[in-house]
A and B are shown apart, each in its own frame.
Chain A
């Protein structure tokens, strides 16, 4: 296992289009987190899953955002009707239990033009 994998690494889209990102966590990790990182800021929590259950969502996750983890393995984050303010790095992380180290993926950089 080579760690947390995110695809694509970069995505350029036109405003109003839908985009979907994928995260493949470390295989034995049951917790999966999504964060958003804008320029000059630290990561901000968006949502997290324990197995297939989405247990918490940040108020940053507007109704245009939806995340799934259908079989408790990989996860997808979809943004509908993208806006320029959605331009950011989207990071995924996974951990095996509550307080063990979370391993981060390399992120997907979204640019909305």
Chain B
């Protein structure tokens, strides 16, 4: 069965510092991987997704993620944190993507705090 593990439920970084949010996945077939952001009392917004093309995926707001099959990881990074990046981030996995979003499994989330 597919699953994702997000390491660290809370991450704090200083404004301007590197953001690194960790995600490890488990999948029996080549996965599709996603990162979503959720601001307080809001829905989820897609940051980026990996669909078996380039292993380095660039997303919105300066975020990117690298798919590493050997490490079963899909960590999210941003070179320089901005105050507006404070939010909760969810990693998600789907075994293939022929089935639609009902087949996507979300992680438990990482809350990012940006310190001025």
Please give the residue numbers on chain A whose beta carbons come within 8 Å of chain B beta carbons, in ascending order: 4, 9, 31, 33, 40-45, 47-48, 56, 58, 91, 93, 95, 98-99, 101-107, 109
Is B84 part of the binding interface, using a Cβ–Cβ cutoff of 8 Å?
A: no
Within the complex, the shortest CB–CB distance from A58 to chain B, in Å, comes to 8
Given known A-B contacts A106-B41, A106-B43, A42 and B100 have beta carbons under 8 A apart: no
Secondary structure class of chain B's binding surface, majority of residues: loop
Q: Would you call B14 an interface residue if the criterion is a C-beta within 8 Å of the partner chain's C-beta atoms? A: no
CB-CB under 8 A from A95, the residues of chain B are: 100-101
> B108 and A41: CB pair below 8 A?
yes
**Are B41 and A40 neighbours in the complex by a CB distance under 8 Å?**
no
Closest Cβ of chain A: how far from B33's Cβ, in Å? Answer: 13
- Check A91–B43 contact: CB distance below 8 A: yes
CB distance from A42 to the nearest CB of B (A): 3
